[in-house]
Structure formats: C-alpha cells, structure tokens
Structure 1
C-alpha cells in the first residue's frame, strides 16, 4: 500500500511538472501580442489544466458532436483545442490574429490591448473555464435560438426550454413569445450595438469585434463614459459583472477561417453562436435560423423588410453560413428545426 501511494504521488508530481513546463513554453515562445501576467495566473492555469486531465470523461450522448471519423469535411474544420472564451491565461493572441481582428471594423487607433485586458479582468471573471466545464456533464444539450420569423406559431417553446443550455443573440426578446421561442436563456451573445437588458441569471457573452467593445464592458459596468461607437450604445448595463463572459477574438478568426473559408468580411453572430455551442455542448439543436416558409427574412418579433440585408452587403455571407449549418445537419452533427 505504501509503495502504491508513493507511485501515485510520483506520477502526479510528474504530471504537474509536465503541465507546468508545457504552459511556460507555450506562453513564452509565442511571439504574439504580449499580455501582462496577472498575480497567481500561472498557478491558476496549472490548476485548470490539471483539472482537465483528471476530469476528462467521454460524451454519453447517442450522437456526440466531437466524435471524429464520421465526416472528413467536419474533421478538417473542427479543432477541439480552440477555446471559445477569453480568459486571463489565454488572452495572448498571435500577431496575425490580432491584426486580422483589428481590421474587422477598421479601428484606426486602438488602445493598448494588454492594458485593456488587465483592467477588464479586474472587473469580470478572468478564470472562467474556457469550455464552461463541459466534461463535468456526460451529455450537454444546447438549443441555439436564432431570430427568424419562422419561429412564429412554431410551438417550439417547451422543447427549447428543455435543453441544458439555451443560447440567444442580439435583441431577441422572449416575453410575449414564450410559446414559440421559450422563456429560458442561459447565455445571450451580444455586442455593444446589439445589447438588450438580460434576465438576472443570464450570462452575457460579449462578442468583441474591436477593442472599443472590450472598453465598453468596462465603462458600462463602472463609469458609463462610452455612449457611442459608430452608433449610440447603452452607457450603463445592469448585468452582474460575474455574469459577463468574453468571446475570444481568436475563436472568431477560427470560425472565419475554418468554417466560412473566408466568405464575407466576418462571421455573423448567428454562426458564431452555432460554432460556439459545438465546442461547449455535446448535442446542438438550432431553432429560428433561415427564412420562413414564404422565403421572408425577418425577425420573429417584427415585420422588418430589411432584416436580411446583410445577406447582400458582403459583411456576412448568409448563404454560405446557411450552407455550413445545412451540411452539419446532413452529417448528423446538429439538428435544424425549420418552423413555419
């Protein structure tokens, strides 16, 4: 028994040392944009990586998204190592990723990213699990709820609410539409210009398309000094700071490169939500994506003839994004509920 304990301690020590050295090498060998090391950061990262080693468990769903060798098309695109959330320990970006991100909305004079990130994570969680503790659940089911008018009279509400995670985006309301879109929301993806106030227990996932978006989070939870980006934005928000998560800019580029193959100028919030969910969930169901049965592109809460404008402007390639989700459904990686 004593010898067995000694062997266990020896192997645990070896694993800890290996993870520590690997972490140091990856962070210090990266030639990207430097991010200030925070107090206890290396200890936190070491602990995080070690926990992943000992907690890892297989998906118990009938069909698991991450299962390889089902489709070569999928395997060429899906990179399980990509972390969808920005944290204090993974905030350093490679130079080409950083420069690509700066060009998304042509920000001319961005402030120092290292300083912004340091201030940001002094206010919001900087040590959140980048895959939302996925492996603590054997089969996590996600509902990604888009904003299409095809949700009207769909009666999907109870089905949507039955999922472990329910992701919504931008200005999507639920009050008054519960029968069709559900009432639960666990994660709501927004950017400053699309923000709406959220329920008390909803996690806000900020999708930053520019450094100003990160600064807006700081401002909106403290001084309220940022009131305008390229349009007016809410100066203050009521979201609890511990409920604010940050979508990783490198993950946006991953979606653009791997999944959209460079189509459009940058990904829409919709496709970003879909790929995000594929990395944090084991089963993904899509609701409210695409046109309605009459071919109309409008939001379920309004009659907006210009709702599909981004399909034509080149900012987002809606048709290509739709092809991606359709292909994912055809190989049983996701399910799409088309509504009315």
Structure 2
C-alpha cells in the first residue's frame, strides 16, 4: 500500500507539473501574439497533449534504456515474462501446484514437511516483504551489479565500479575482505542456500534460494530453536541475520528460469543464473562481473587456486556452458553489460 501511495503521489506531481508547464508555455505564446488569453483554446491544446501522453506507452524506468523494455529482441521477448514474481512474500505465499511438484524433485527430498504449514510458520517469523528491490518506480534508474565468483575477477580492478551501483548482488561464499580492489566492498543483497551460507554485514539482505522444503524449515529453526544442523552436509544451527533482512526466492521463479531461459538444460539453474535472471526482473540497468572462465580458460573461484580448466563447468547438475551462452547473448543484445575481467 505504501508503494502504491508513493506511485500515486509521484504520478499526480508529474501531471500537475505538466499542466503548469503547458499552461505557462501556451500562456506566453498567447501573450506574444494576442492581448487576451483564450482559456478555451488552452484547454483544447492541453487535452490534445494529454491524449498523446496517455497514448504513448510509458517506459518502465528513467534510464536511457531499461532492461525490461520489450520490442528490441525477439529472443529476449520470448523468454522474459514480466508477470513472474522473483520473491515469495508474506502477502503471496502460495506456490502453484505444478511448480511445487517440479521443485520437490530438485534434490529428491524424502517425506517433506507440509509446505503450507512451513510457509505459514516462516512468515510468522520474518516479515517477508518491504525490501527496496521489491518496489519498482518508473521515475528512477535502478543500477545493479551482479557479481559472480569467477577467477577472472583477479587483478581486474573492478572494485570501484562495482561499489558505484545502487544495488550490489553477490552469491554463496563470496568474500570481499582482501579482494576489495577487484570485487569491491559493497554488498546490498547476498544469495545463499543453507549449504552455502556465510555470515554477512547487518545492512545486507539475505536472499535464500530454497531447493527443498528442508531449506525453508532451516530458516525457521536457525532463527529459533537451532534444531537443524544437517541437510546433505552440515549447516549452521543459528544464523546472525536480522529477520527483516531475510527474503525468499520464489520456487516458481526457479522453474521459470529453468524452462524459459535454460530450456531444460541441466537439472536446475545455478545460483549465478538465478541471480542474473532475478536482476533482469528487479533492476533497470544490469552490469555483470565475475562470470565465466578466466583468460586462460580456467573455471575457478577468485579466492582459490585451482589449475583445472574444467572445474565448475559441467557438474552434472548445472550446464555451465549453456548458462554462459545465455549471459553472452544478453550482452550481445545489450540487455546487460558484461565485464570479462582477466
């Protein structure tokens, strides 16, 4: 309701300013040409201008180009579905049946807890909404940096550029301490799942990507009883994250990324691709760093030394090559800016 009220106020302000400016210009024109001001003519001219304004489609943001704009690429338009909601919120905590059945198979969870009861308990603990990324505004230009974990970030000197963005999205165990000159120090949102959790600063929003019902139950216990400490590997019993800073990635959105963007390649999308498509939906300008191999063809994390050129490329779960081609295609049609690093 607050977001709707803000949009209404901004729209009213815009129309009011338009009327004022139009009145001034037309009044000045009439003052130059005639001595009397024809209010009837003014109304007619303003009505014509207003009809043109209503007829002309509104742009989704105030950037020079907006990533969600359609009509620029058939490839993009066939895949991008603006109606898909990236977040699971307290106001919309329902997962469609087909999405739920597909999601249950991702990690083969046996005897999962009732999903409706789990979501009710979860959103009884966390607010689940109110994050800035959940509100869109056509009067702003929301610049986002999606920072992957590739070794090509080493000696890239991208740090300052990354930190200049409105929102900086990072993922999994990515550290910044000691790598600031290359990867920056600013983080606004961090994507994790229980097995990849890392402690983060108080002002960082944690976006949990759930791959099974147990992941959602882990959030509940990590904020309360601390009873879950193992999924398929050990996970933290407790987490130090403010409840209002916890956001839930929508399982239905995972299915959308898999079907629309991955075209069923791999078993399910990687955190990197889920973060990238997420950004296409919530940001106006998307700049991508730390994706793909380094200049020698090596696939590794920037904080590790890994001589294997094939690491993390084809895991049997994610199709790294196909996912990377999606990134390159988005860059080629100028939907994202892709920084290759070293």
TM-based fold match above 0.5: yes
Deviations, residues 317-336 of structure 1 (Å, cap 9, x unaligned): 00000011100000000011
Q: From the superposition, tell whether residues 238 and 142 of structure 1 become closer, same or farther in structure 2 (CA, over 3 Å).
A: same
- Comparing 80-89 with 51-60, greater Cα deviation is found at 51-60
What secondary structure does 2:100 align onto?
helix
Q: From the superposition, tell whether residues 306 and 265 of structure 1 become closer, same or farther in structure 2 (CA, over 3 Å).
A: farther
**How far is the alpha carbon of 1:311 from its aligned partner?**
2.6
Residue correspondences, number: 294
Alignment of 1:129-278 (within 5 A): 132-135=134-137, 138-278=140-280
Match of residue 37 from structure 2:
none
| Whole-angstrom CA distance in 2 between matches of 1:205 and 1:115 | 21
| Whole-angstrom CA distance in 2 between matches of 1:334 and 1:200 | 29
What secondary structure does 2:137 align onto?
helix
**How far is the alpha carbon of 1:126 from its aligned partner?**
2.9
Deviations, residues 177-224 of structure 1 (Å, cap 9, x unaligned): 000000000000000000000011000000000000000111111111
Deviations, residues 120-172 of structure 1 (Å, cap 9, x unaligned): 01111134369521216510000000000100000000000000000000000
**How far is the alpha carbon of 1:89 from its aligned partner?**
2.4
Q: From the superposition, tell whether residues 256 and 181 of structure 1 become closer, same or farther in structure 2 (CA, over 3 Å).
A: same
Instruction: Indicate conservation of the 8 Å contact 1:85/1:131, yes or no.
Output: no
Q: From the superposition, tell whether residues 235 and 135 of structure 1 become closer, same or farther in structure 2 (CA, over 3 Å).
A: same
Instruction: Indicate conservation of the 8 Å contact 1:202/1:243, yes or no.
Output: yes
What secondary structure does 2:134 align onto?
coil
Q: From the superposition, tell whether residues 277 and 95 of structure 1 become closer, same or farther in structure 2 (CA, over 3 Å).
A: same
**How far is the alpha carbon of 1:51 from its aligned partner?**
4.9
Match of residue 22 from structure 1:
none
Higher gyration radius (CA): 2
- 1:290 and 2:287 correspond: no
| Whole-angstrom CA distance in 2 between matches of 1:49 and 1:307 | 47
Instruction: Indicate conservation of the 8 Å contact 1:83/1:130, yes or no.
Output: no
Deviations, residues 224-280 of structure 1 (Å, cap 9, x unaligned): 110000000011110111100000000101100110011000000000000001111
| Whole-angstrom CA distance in 2 between matches of 1:176 and 1:226 | 32
Q: From the superposition, tell whether residues 186 and 63 of structure 1 become closer, same or farther in structure 2 (CA, over 3 Å).
A: same
Instruction: Indicate conservation of the 8 Å contact 1:87/1:128, yes or no.
Output: no
Q: From the superposition, tell whether residues 288 and 236 of structure 1 become closer, same or farther in structure 2 (CA, over 3 Å).
A: same
- 1:329 and 2:331 correspond: yes
What RMSD in Å do the two structures reach over aligned CA positions?
1.9
Q: Structure 1, unaligned stretches of length 5 or more?
A: 1-46
Deviations, residues 269-324 of structure 1 (Å, cap 9, x unaligned): 00000000111100000000000000111110111356954432320000000011
What secondary structure does 1:312 align onto?
coil
Runs of 4 or more consecutive aligned structure 1 residues displaced over 6 Å after TM superposition: none
